[in-house]
A and B are shown apart, each in its own frame.
Chain A
């Protein structure tokens, strides 16, 4: 039995050791006056991927993107795109285009001129440029707006012009800096799927920088979580959410209830953690790379905990607590439970029944239970 949780089927290029990466970032460090914005990052991104760099502000994600575009030069390390070393290549010679967070549309040019700008830098016949611009306008559904100036467009329309302009030169790699950041929630959700659709039809490799984990989860084939200039974890959205590798990732992506404990039983097919905070022994039904008596953390997502009034039969992981607060969000309700140890625990429950009169209420004493594989054991 491997000392690792079992994860999704291994049928993707990043799971294939012989696949050749399209972008290869080797031990890249970027320092601004002694402060490392990016430190020793290595990353491989494959053709056709939609890779998300996810992190808070100051995590170095934007700096990494700007180094890919050529606006910053790495202090150390190399960046290869399509097998070519990009270190000494200026931005205007890279096979890369970028969509800026502020969109950076040229205010003195209309939509068509903005989109045609990159094409005019190459020696392409005017008729061909016009044709390509019309194609792109149709792609982003702005066919009627070619003659408008950027300031005459709404935020969503500007975002689409910026996308069309960045796609105009058929780049092999498109960099997107917070592409949906300036849009309101509803528009963002619509645009997310449109963006994925465009990416899939064109087959361009996308690298997206975002601070919005929901955006990253719904867009990405893989996510690279960044923290303080370093990559904390790389993986598919489900890996990152269900199998975080550290306390930082577990807390940063979604919410997690974290319990500190000591390993009391370390077998190849299960371990047991004794945690005073949890108020019970935590039984984990798979092997973990740890030693007996080791101090570690166990994290569980709010939706993986089941609440009940009666002690559930046959459950191994059960503890008790008092309902302190309930947040009704429509589709789900969030329960704040205070365990007997005083520890606050967050539990979410899908509201599957309308106007449920039998729902658990404030100040009720409840049992909390979870399956043996529901939580993640974290040693870092």
Chain B
């Protein structure tokens, strides 16, 4: 057992050494390769499709396949003509349907985000303050709904809220007339808040669980009652969690299509449904593409705000 350790073979020990050398000859290092993989992925699956959609939004509707005009036309004597139709974007502003759909989407998403925050904050706080034994169980319960299909869960909500659903049957026991919940904005709020609540709780939890308990004790020690400690210490220090959670609810909620389709009524105007109708009912691809691009802008602005807020806290 006391044999001297074998000397390591220095040369050719790493099997990828040859490949490394070959790559270096054409100016590629390992670092560049690692960065290139996600860059290629994003280019192929995000940037190029986005450019295609943007291109379609600048074309005009026509019958046939594809159902939109080509941006480039080849004229006589080898001329190339680029035709950009801005009419789709102009229409978004001139037709009140689109404007009100956008405003309504933002309103529904914003209200749902506030409700999710109001529900999620105490839950996240409670989980973060729970004993180690319970914390994982409670977190598991938050994540558990993801194990069943989102579509199924939203559909199951109709069983609760419809005319002879669980809630109304229960109220009927006390002689209360059935409430109309389905096909209302109320049902959409319930659906969005229910679906996206975990996305609010998890970032809030990760923030609140890091909160140093000594800070709360120091605040109490200096004469602050619990509610004052919450307002002066806990709340300001959890702002990054609030911002992250709110964005994770707000952004998908704006473009939400399934929930308003299943739970909302004809009056629930949301941009996701308008988009769907333009694409599949009207087969107006250019208009639908313009709606999508405009929605992207609506969503990108809050993302940029979030990133600014987060880089501000990183500085701290």
Q: List, in ascending order, chain B residues with CB within 8 A of A96's CB.
A: 221
A151 at the interface (CB under 8 A from B): yes
Q: List, in ascending order, chain B residues with CB within 8 A of A121's CB.
A: 222-224, 228
Asked whether, in the complex, the Cβ of B214 is within 8 Å of the Cβ of A118, the reply is no
Contacts A117-B232, A149-B316, A151-B316 known; A106 to B218 CB distance under 8 Å? yes
B217 at the interface (CB under 8 A from A): yes
Of A117, A149, A151, most buried by chain B (CB within 10 Å of CB) is A117
Q: Which residues of A, 60-98, contact B by the 8 Å Cβ criterion?
A: 69-71, 90-93, 96-98
Tell me how far the C-beta of A173 lies from the nearest C-beta in chain B, rounded to whole angstroms. Answer: 12
Asked whether, in the complex, the Cβ of A117 is within 8 Å of the Cβ of B316, the reply is no
CB contact between B222 and one of A71, A107, A118, A151 (< 8 Å): that residue: A118
Q: List, in ascending order, chain B residues with CB within 8 A of A70's CB.
A: 220-221
B143 at the interface (CB under 8 A from A): no
Q: How many residues of A contact B (CB 8 A)?
A: 27
Asked whether, in the complex, the Cβ of A92 is within 8 Å of the Cβ of B223, the reply is yes
Closest to B223 in A: A121
Tell me how far the C-beta of A94 lies from the nearest C-beta in chain B, rounded to whole angstroms. Answer: 8
Q: List, in ascending order, chain A residues with CB within 8 A of B218's CB.
A: 98, 100, 104-106, 165
Asked whether, in the complex, the Cβ of B212 is within 8 Å of the Cβ of A97, the reply is no
Q: Which residues of B, 169-225, contact A by the 8 Å Cβ criterion?
A: 212, 214-215, 217-225
Q: List, in ascending order, chain B residues with CB within 8 A of A149's CB.
A: 316
Asked whether, in the complex, the Cβ of A71 is within 8 Å of the Cβ of B217, the reply is yes
Q: List, in ascending order, chain A residues with CB within 8 A of B232's CB.
A: 117
CB contact between B316 and one of A105, A108, A118, A122 (< 8 Å): that residue: A108
Q: List, in ascending order, chain B residues with CB within 8 A of A90's CB.
A: 220
Tell me how far the C-beta of A120 lies from the nearest C-beta in chain B, rounded to whole angstroms. Answer: 9
Asked whether, in the complex, the Cβ of A97 is within 8 Å of the Cβ of B316, the reply is no
Tell me how far the C-beta of A75 lies from the nearest C-beta in chain B, rounded to whole angstroms. Answer: 19
Contacts A102-B212, A104-B214 known; A169 to B316 CB distance under 8 Å? no
Contact with A along B216-254 (1 / 0, CB 8 A): 011111111100100011001100000000000000000
Asked whether, in the complex, the Cβ of B221 is within 8 Å of the Cβ of A91, the reply is yes
Closest to A165 in B: B222
**CA of A278 to CA of B237, assembled, Å:** 63
Asked whether, in the complex, the Cβ of B233 is within 8 Å of the Cβ of A91, the reply is no
Contact with B along A144-174 (1 / 0, CB 8 A): 0000010100000000000001101100000
Tell me how far the C-beta of A311 lies from the nearest C-beta in chain B, rounded to whole angstroms. Answer: 52
Q: Which residues of B, 78-108, contact A by the 8 Å Cβ criterion?
A: none
Contacts A107-B316, A108-B236 known; A100 to B223 CB distance under 8 Å? no
**CA of A24 to CA of B165, assembled, Å:** 65
Asked whether, in the complex, the Cβ of A122 is within 8 Å of the Cβ of B215, the reply is no
Asked whether, in the complex, the Cβ of B214 is within 8 Å of the Cβ of A100, the reply is yes
Asked whether, in the complex, the Cβ of B223 is within 8 Å of the Cβ of A169, the reply is yes
**CA of A117 to CA of B222, assembled, Å:** 7
Closest to B224 in A: A121
Q: List, in ascending order, chain B residues with CB within 8 A of A105's CB.
A: 218
CB contact between B220 and one of A92, A102, A108, A166 (< 8 Å): that residue: A92
Tell me how far the C-beta of A89 lies from the nearest C-beta in chain B, rounded to whole angstroms. Answer: 12
Asked whether, in the complex, the Cβ of B217 is within 8 Å of the Cβ of A97, the reply is no
Q: List, in ascending order, chain A residues with CB within 8 A of B212's CB.
A: 102, 104
Question: What are 9 residue pairs bridging A and B, where the CB atoms are less than 8 Å apart in the complex?
Answer: A91-B221, A92-B224, A104-B217, A104-B218, A105-B218, A106-B219, A107-B316, A117-B222, A117-B232
**CA of A121 to CA of B316, assembled, Å:** 25
Asked whether, in the complex, the Cβ of B237 is within 8 Å of the Cβ of A91, the reply is no
Q: List, in ascending order, chain B residues with CB within 8 A of A169's CB.
A: 222-223
**CA of A121 to CA of B232, assembled, Å:** 11
Q: List, in ascending order, chain A residues with CB within 8 A of B223's CB.
A: 92-93, 118, 121-122, 169
Q: List, in ascending order, chain B residues with CB within 8 A of A108's CB.
A: 236-237, 316
**CA of A173 to CA of B222, assembled, Å:** 13
Tell me how far the C-beta of B311 lies from the nearest C-beta in chain A, rounded to whole angstroms. Answer: 16
CB contact between B221 and one of A92, A102, A106, A107 (< 8 Å): that residue: A92
Q: List, in ascending order, chain B residues with CB within 8 A of A106's CB.
A: 215, 218-219, 233
Tell me how far the C-beta of B39 lies from the nearest C-beta in chain A, rounded to whole angstroms. Answer: 34
Of B220, B225, B228, most buried by chain A (CB within 10 Å of CB) is B220
Q: List, in ascending order, chain A residues with CB within 8 A of B316's CB.
A: 107-108, 149, 151
Tell me how far the C-beta of B173 lies from the nearest C-beta in chain A, rounded to whole angstroms. Answer: 45
Of A69, A70, A118, A165, most buried by chain B (CB within 10 Å of CB) is A118
Extra A-B contacts (16), CB below 8 Å, given A69-B221, A92-B221, A92-B224: A71-B220, A92-B223, A98-B218, A100-B214, A104-B217, A104-B218, A106-B219, A107-B316, A117-B222, A117-B224, A117-B232, A118-B222, A121-B223, A121-B228, A149-B316, A166-B221
